[in-house]
Structure 1
Amino acid sequence: MIFSRLRLSNFKPYGDVDVRFRDGVTVIHGLNGSGKSSLLEACFFALYGSKALSGTLDDVIRNGEDDAEIELRFTHDGVDYRIERHLRRSGDRVSTSKCVLEGDDGSGESVSRDGARAVRNFVSDLLRMDAEAFVNCAYVRQGEVNKLINATPQQRQDMIDDLLQLGMLETYRDRAGEARLGVDDVLKDARGSLTQVESQIDDKESQNLHERLNGLETDLADVKSDIDHYEDQQAEAESTLEDAESTLAEYRDRQAEIDDLEAEIEELETEISETAAKRDELGDEQRAARDRREELEGDLDDRLAATELDEASADAIAERQSTLADEQEALGEAIADRRVKATGFENQADNLETTADELETAAEEAEAAAEEAETAAEEAEAAAEEAEAKRAELADEQSKVRAQFDNAPIAVGEAAGYREELQERRQAIGEQVAETEATLDSLQASVTEAEDLLAEGNCPTCGQPVDDAPHVTDIDDQRDRISELESELAELRDQRKAVEDDIETATELVEAESTLSELESERERLADRIETRRETATEKRETATAKREDAADKRAEAADRREAAERKREEAVDTREEIENRTDRRAEITAAIERLEAIDELRGEIDDCVSRIDRLAERRESLAERNEERRRWLADKRDQRDELRDAFDESTVEEARQRKANAEDYIERVTAELDSLRERRDELQNAIGGIKNALDDLETLREQREALAARVDELEALHEETESLEAMYGDLRTELRRRNVETLERMLNETFELVYGNDAYSHIKLDGQYELTVYQKDDQPLEPDQLSGGERALFNLSLRCAIYRLLAEGIEGAAPTPPLILDEPTVFLDSGHVGRLVDLVEEMRGFGVRQILIVSHDDELVGAADDLLTVEKNPTTNESTVTHTDAADLAVLGQVGDD
């Protein structure tokens, strides 16, 4: 996996930043607090969202802003991916407003995920590690370089197992164990069910179900025979009852028919009377219609005299109406045309006045803009003068700093080299002091031993007792040599003290050079600002002049528009007068048309009266004919009623009533007997059904017993399989961990040997539980926490790099590892150990790590970089910016430094 591009907007100290990453080693360099680590935190946050934060989303958005955007582009296994996250502040709450991931391998097939959780899950699957595994493997965050060594053995085991995908085997083993326990529970239930079913079968087989069933079926046959006999007798009685009821029903129907005929006779008599009265009313209406016709004909003659017509014929009226309608239509068109024309004049006048108002407003705005531009020009000029004063102050401050070099043995720019020479000289003097102290200690021990032997009367060389031996003179020489060495040692210590004082002075000069560089950079920035402010002042004054000229032009144009608007309003008034004249004439024509329409309506009413008179005559004649027909129906109905009264005998009706009563009495008695027999039949059938159900249950229980026995056999076999699977996952994890431990130990020793490069330690031992032991050259074991702070930091970096190598080389398919990220790895390292860290970086490049990102303010790491990202923070705005320097520029910088 390779990061290619990071774009930020309002993320922590950054405003708008666009950073491109390349293969190789990229060092992110800058002063403490400039925002270096925030760049890598942005990459981490883009991949894993809130899971990558130690705080909350509120900490991500830059102070004073409500929105933030993070976009990360990277390549994995030949596919280009892009992640985009947008954050939004609403009140006191910050939430993710957009989170998308898109991938394209160039073949037309794309990958897309939407939503923070979906993106995080996809990245975790893609890299085969979640956010916690990411920081345990590839991302050594600031202050966490000793995380693995400070962890408990169990924590370190869990971390490394998860990274090496061994944690899943433990998960699978747990699942197999849970499955085994589940099968065990199910097996116990199945065995219990089998025992219960067998007990139920024994109970039912002891009930003699078949013998009881035969006895009940015999009793049921006898009861059914009795029921059939009584049902036949009941049917015969019901037939007799039905005949009697039929006779009585026929009698009732005849009587009802007679009643209906009498009602119809009465109704016909009423209708004949009402129809005669209705005919008299229609005669009255006919006479009234004739009177209305004569009245309308008189009104028609009066209205015709007020027109230009000679007669009230339909053709004459239609012809006159057509002539007047044509004239009316022509007047309407003329009026409409002039209304449109008048409205157009009025709209033109309004538009011209509106435009004039807008022009005057624009003129006022232009004059206001001119005033603002003039004010801005004055402010820019004042800012330029203030910057010039500040630049002069910085020049004075530079002069004061340069004064430190007036009495110095070096010139500006030589301080760092001078300090290194002094440090080397101090190192040489230190070595001479150590050598002299060792020689002095040896001579003093020798003299003390000789004095002790002489005090006992023995020779200091051979230990034999001698008197006046020549060896006595050697002690005096040694004492003289001790005096010389003590004088030399004192002189060397004085020299070392003087050199240390010179180093302190050189350090102050190095800091002075850094201050001069910063002051010069600030003066250059002020020079750019002065030029920009003066250019701004000139532009603003030119803008003010142009705005004032524009305001004058707009006021003149507004006056012309108002004069044109007045002319248009006069034309609109003239047109409105023409409309009024034509409207009056149109009203006269409308009145004439209405008179003609009234005459036509009178003609229509007269025709309606004639038609009504004719219809009323026809209705009176129709009513007379209908009453004649009803009188014929009335005579027929009276004849039918008399015939029905004579058709029925009362003795037949009485006999039918007696037969009905006898049949109902017998049916009541036989029904009670049948109910009793049927109840007994139902009891027998229910008992038979219960025994048959019991027999069916017995057969079902036997089938269940066979199925449960087979189920128990299957579960016992499955129980054995889950036990074997659980043991297999445990053995597989143990074997894979052993192999990984061997490989990890080898890689760790390779890296450890490179970064230590001394004779103090021989190798590292890593056991199956990831317990770490460091061995000295004399095979004495040490715990890692017994190392010095710098050695411990290098030890942890070695372990991290070894794990990273194992992940990259030991997993099939595309290596899931992201770039190797080291955030401030030199915190616990002195200058000598920083050099070994550079060697470690070069070693990882040699192992094929394509991208390494290092955050550091240490200048020594810059030499190992292919790309350099310099982060600076503006002290006024607290906004960080990033400057990129590629490998070619770094090479040039290196040559300049060498010169």
Structure 2
Amino acid sequence: MRFRRVVLENFKCYADADLTLDPGVTVVHGVNGSGKSSLLEACFFALYGHRALDANLDEVVTTGAEAARVELWFAHGGTDYHIERRVKLRGGGATNDKCVLETPEGPIEGVKDVRAYVTDLLRMDTDAFVNCAYVRQGEVNKLINADPSTRQDMIDDLLQLGTLEEYRERASDARVGVKRVRDGKQELLAEKEREIEAKEEKGLHEQLNGLQSELSEVRNDIEEKERGLENARDTKAQAEEILENHEARREEIAELAAEIDDLESEIAAGEGEREEAAERIAELTTAAEEHRETAREAVRAAVETGNGDDSPGVEVDVGPADPDSESLDAAVAALETRIEDVNDRIQERLLEKQEYASDAETARERAEELATEAEEKREEADELAAELEAARETVAQQREQLAELDERIAELEASFEDAPCDPDGADALVEQRRDALAEAREQVTSLEGDLEHARERVTEAEELLAEGKCPECGQPVEDSPHVERVDEDRERVVELESELESARETVTEREDALEAAEALAERADELEQAQGERESARELLAEREQGLDDDEERVDDLREQAAELDEAAETKREAAEAAEEQAEAAKGAIGQLNGEKATLKQRRGLLDEAADALDGADEVETEIERLRERRESLASENELRRESLADKRDRKAELEAEFDEDRVEHAEGELERAEQYIEQASGKLEALRERRDDLQGAIGATENEIEALEDLRERRDDLAETVENLGSLYQEAERLESMYADLRAELRQQNVEKLERLLNETFDLVYTNDAYSHIELDGSYELTVFQKDDEPLEPEQLSGGERALFNLSLRCAIYRLLAEGIEGTAPMPPLILDEPTVFLDSGHVSKLVDLVESMRDLGVEQILVVSHDEELVGAADDLVRVAKDPTSNRSRVERTNAVEPGALESEAVEGDD
């Protein structure tokens, strides 16, 4: 596999870039901070998306831009591919706006689908790509610095062995789970056996036969008692019918007597009500005449009131001797019209008065406002004059403060001369060390979980050994091939405890490093704040100096405006006095109109009183007519009651003649005897029925117990079969766990041997005729370096440059192992080295050049190196120069064919890119 072309638009420090990458060794060089690493990160981001970033997604978008775009063309296995990713800022965050991978089979769209396709195509996820093909800046010693467990997991994952361990753990968990289920089923089976035995001891079938025989006898007794009860009930019914008929006659006679009394009372009450109605009619006739006289008097008073009114009036067209409702209504309507006309004239005068009063008030308020405004202008002029003098003093003070800020900024800039980064890189350094601390803490958490799991396995194994059973399969110790694994588990616990202690120390160290970086970031923030304050102070000083002359002119203008406002206030006072005189004249006219309105209302009140009196007379006459009709109705009702009274008296006499006392006495005796028999027989029948129900319940319970016994036997048989199947499944899981463990160990040993050979070949190319003879690699990927005299050395004992070169050799050997293992089916990605010379002196750099040459000679199609070292530049097949425009702070790329000796010395400053 190799990269063909990458195109950037607003990606990090690049506004736009278009770079073609050829086979062979390509060296990307330029000054620190110019964006060399960002160029390779863009390729990595194109393949894997946001998981390839050490920062948030929104940080890939160039400052000031709204979206970023990355396109990558690459060849894999002789086939061309093209990826395009677009990131857009929305609502304070970034989102993937577009993600498309063009493949021979068609386009793949979506972040997850594209990442999954690339992972499957390269047989590497993000972590595997970094651990194998991409040596990122500052991570050259990643493998050697990793603890043994982490290094083992990293290399196993690259070689696809981690999956086998995952399968072995799944098989182990399955085995333990099956054993737990099997033991539970065995306990349940024993419980079912005990239940079956208890039920069989009861003799359920014999109990059932005895209960059924007794139930048959009880049912016969119930039938006999029910026949006797039926005869007694017939006798009782006949007697009750005779008694009911005689009782019905007795009740009808009593009802007729009561009805006769009620009718006689109703007739008497009706005659009394007729007499009361006659008396009431006489009273109401007198009241009607009184109401009409009241109406005539009110009309006469209204006419007299109108004759004394000097203003235009309204005639009352009713005769004083006999007024009527229609003439009264017409007169009231005419008065209402007149009152409304007077009201309209009053409203007109009120509006006129309010307008004049409002004009006067407005003029006076405006006069006061103008006077106040004039005073404010004079005060403002005085205050501005005082402020002008103070401003001149402030300008002098600000010049002194600006000089102090210049001194503070110089001190802060000087504090970064020996720092590991410049002020702009302080936040990046904090994030880098924070990520390193998070990684160390995750390692501690992982080791704590592994240690707890390992201790549980040892505890479980020791308990089984104490019982004389194998800790892996539960079989007797003498028959188990896996007993010796207990010691391995104990050793694993010790190893994990040691690794956990080391990991915790690493966390402490990285916490201290993070604290130092955060202090540096605080100084950078202080520097940035001071620079901003200085710029603001300069702008403010310039503005205030320019405003001094303008303030002097403003003082003169304010005093002239105050004099003009005083003149306008006096004019408004004169207008207010004229409007107040007009308002007083309108007030007098309103008083005259209110007098006329009062007279008209008095006349209308008298006519309303006359109309009310006439309405009262009409109501009384209506009540008189109603009472006369009621007297006629009562007379008709009493006539009907008298007819009904005669009929009821005749019926009562007829019923009294038909009543037979002897027959009633005989029926009562028969009823008493039948009830006594029913009561006695019902008690015995109830007891028999209860016994029958008890027997039926006992029979049902016994049958249920027999059915439950059969069900228990079936469940026992099913459980026995399940226990047998679980035993077979347990053995299968045990064999599967052992197979995965043996297979992983066998494959790891094969890979270890091959990796050791490739590592020594690579190391020999770099250290031929040097002080070291060879390297040995054990089954856990622990590395040991041997000197020429066969004296072993741990990698930590090497110098910094030797350790870095040693790690590069290991990474290259892993790369070769993967390439040789899958050649022809999944070609390896380009070998990417980002600033590999950070920890190397000049002597070791030449060996790194030899290593790069050797990888190219071994057939690595494409090697990408980020470096400003001249030796690496000289070994390149293709050179790409990255530079940053100081005015726009944007990076650009350009190809160069050669580099003059010493031309890069000015660029070679150690630090993060």
* TM-score, normalisation: structure 2: 0.57
Unaligned runs of 5+ in 1: 8-17, 31-42, 50-68, 85-97, 113-125, 396-523, 855-862, 871-880
Q: Does 1:322 align with 2:329?
A: no
1:166, distance to aligned residue in structure 2 (A): 6.0
For the aligned residue pairs, the C-alpha RMSD in angstroms reads 6.4
> Partner of 1:225 in structure 2?
220
Partner of 2:785: helix, strand, or coil?
Answer: strand
What does 1:174-573 correspond to in 2, within 5 Å? 174-194=169-189, 196-197=191-192, 200=195, 213=208, 216-245=211-240, 247-248=243-244, 250=248, 253-254=251-252, 257-258=255-256, 261=259, 264-265=262-263, 268=266, 269=268, 273=272, 276-277=275-276, 280-281=279-280, 283-307=282-306, 308-312=314-318, 313=327, 314-326=329-341, 328-329=343-344, 332=347, 335=350, 339=354, 379-380=394-395, 535-536=542-543, 538-541=545-548, 543-545=550-552, 548=555, 551=558, 555=562, 562=569, 566=573, 573=580
1:666, distance to aligned residue in structure 2 (A): 0.9
> Partner of 2:608 in structure 1?
601
Q: Relative to structure 1, is the Cα distance of residues 192 and 584 closer, same or farther in structure 2, using a 3 angstrom cutoff?
A: same
1:670, distance to aligned residue in structure 2 (A): 0.5
Deviations 1:447-469 (A, max 9, x none): xxxxxxxxxxxxxxxxxxxxxxx
Q: Relative to structure 1, is the Cα distance of residues 551 and 639 closer, same or farther in structure 2, using a 3 angstrom cutoff?
A: same
Which letter does structure 1 place at the counterpart of 2:98?
A: D
1:231, distance to aligned residue in structure 2 (A): 2.0
Q: Relative to structure 1, is the Cα distance of residues 607 and 681 closer, same or farther in structure 2, using a 3 angstrom cutoff?
A: same
Which letter does structure 1 place at the counterpart of 2:690?
A: E
Match of 2:624 among 617, 622, 631: 617
> Partner of 2:683 in structure 1?
672
What does 1:757-768 correspond to in 2, within 5 Å? 759-761=770-772, 764-768=775-779
What does 1:441-840 correspond to in 2, within 5 Å? 535-536=542-543, 538-541=545-548, 543-545=550-552, 548=555, 551=558, 555=562, 562=569, 566=573, 573=580, 576-577=583-584, 580=587, 583-584=590-591, 587-588=594-595, 590-591=597-598, 594-595=601-602, 597-629=604-636, 631-632=638-639, 635=642, 636-637=644-645, 640=648, 643-644=651-652, 646-647=655-656, 648-705=659-716, 707-708=718-719, 711-712=722-723, 715-716=726-727, 718-719=729-730, 722-723=733-734, 726-727=737-738, 730=741, 734=745, 759-761=770-772, 764-776=775-787, 781-795=792-806
1:210, distance to aligned residue in structure 2 (A): 5.5
Q: Relative to structure 1, is the Cα distance of residues 560 and 139 closer, same or farther in structure 2, using a 3 angstrom cutoff?
A: farther
1:771, distance to aligned residue in structure 2 (A): 0.5
Does structure 2 retain, via aligned residues, the 8 Å contact 1:842–1:864?
no
CA distance in 2, matches of 1:697, 1:577: 113
CA distance in 2, matches of 1:822, 1:586: 107
Q: Relative to structure 1, is the Cα distance of residues 211 and 830 closer, same or farther in structure 2, using a 3 angstrom cutoff?
A: same
Which letter does structure 2 place at the counterpart of 1:678?
A: R
Does structure 2 retain, via aligned residues, the 8 Å contact 1:373–1:543?
no
Partner of 1:866: helix, strand, or coil?
Answer: strand
Deviations 1:424-470 (A, max 9, x none): xxxxxxxxxxxxxxxxxxxxxxxxxxxxxxxxxxxxxxxxxxxxxxx
Which letter does structure 1 place at the counterpart of 2:648?
A: Q
CA distance in 1, matches of 2:543, 2:743: 75
CA distance in 2, matches of 1:764, 1:362: 94
> Partner of 2:97 in structure 1?
104
1:104, distance to aligned residue in structure 2 (A): 1.6
Partner of 2:316: helix, strand, or coil?
Answer: coil
1:679, distance to aligned residue in structure 2 (A): 1.8
Which letter does structure 2 place at the counterpart of 1:298?
A: E
Deviations 1:676-708 (A, max 9, x none): 211221122112212322343244335535644
Does structure 2 retain, via aligned residues, the 8 Å contact 1:384–1:533?
no
Size of the aligned set, in residue pairs, is 680
Q: Relative to structure 1, is the Cα distance of residues 389 and 158 closer, same or farther in structure 2, using a 3 angstrom cutoff?
A: closer
Q: Does 1:866 align with 2:882?
A: yes
CA distance in 2, matches of 1:566, 1:806: 106
1:192, distance to aligned residue in structure 2 (A): 4.3
CA distance in 2, matches of 1:809, 1:536: 73
1:643, distance to aligned residue in structure 2 (A): 3.9
Partner of 1:105: helix, strand, or coil?
Answer: strand
Q: Which moved more, 1:669-678 or 1:221-230?
A: 221-230
CA distance in 2, matches of 1:232, 1:311: 103
Q: Does 1:79 align with 2:85?
A: yes
Which letter does structure 2 place at the counterpart of 1:237?
A: A
Deviations 1:288-307 (A, max 9, x none): 34323312321232023323
Q: Relative to structure 1, is the Cα distance of residues 819 and 791 closer, same or farther in structure 2, using a 3 angstrom cutoff?
A: closer
Does structure 2 retain, via aligned residues, the 8 Å contact 1:352–1:562?
yes
CA distance in 1, matches of 2:568, 2:163: 84
Deviations 1:482-514 (A, max 9, x none): xxxxxxxxxxxxxxxxxxxxxxxxxxxxxxxxx
1:320, distance to aligned residue in structure 2 (A): 4.2
Deviations 1:77-133 (A, max 9, x none): 64344799xxxxxxxxxxxxx995522216798889xxxxxxxxxxxxx97669xx9
Partner of 1:79: helix, strand, or coil?
Answer: strand
CA distance in 2, matches of 1:352, 1:220: 120
Q: Relative to structure 1, is the Cα distance of residues 580 and 337 closer, same or farther in structure 2, using a 3 angstrom cutoff?
A: closer
Does structure 1 retain, via aligned residues, the 8 Å contact 2:144–2:795?
yes
* TM-score, normalisation: structure 1: 0.58
Which letter does structure 2 place at the counterpart of 1:866?
A: V
Q: Which moved more, 1:786-795 or 1:258-267?
A: 258-267
Does structure 2 retain, via aligned residues, the 8 Å contact 1:137–1:803?
no
Partner of 1:773: helix, strand, or coil?
Answer: strand
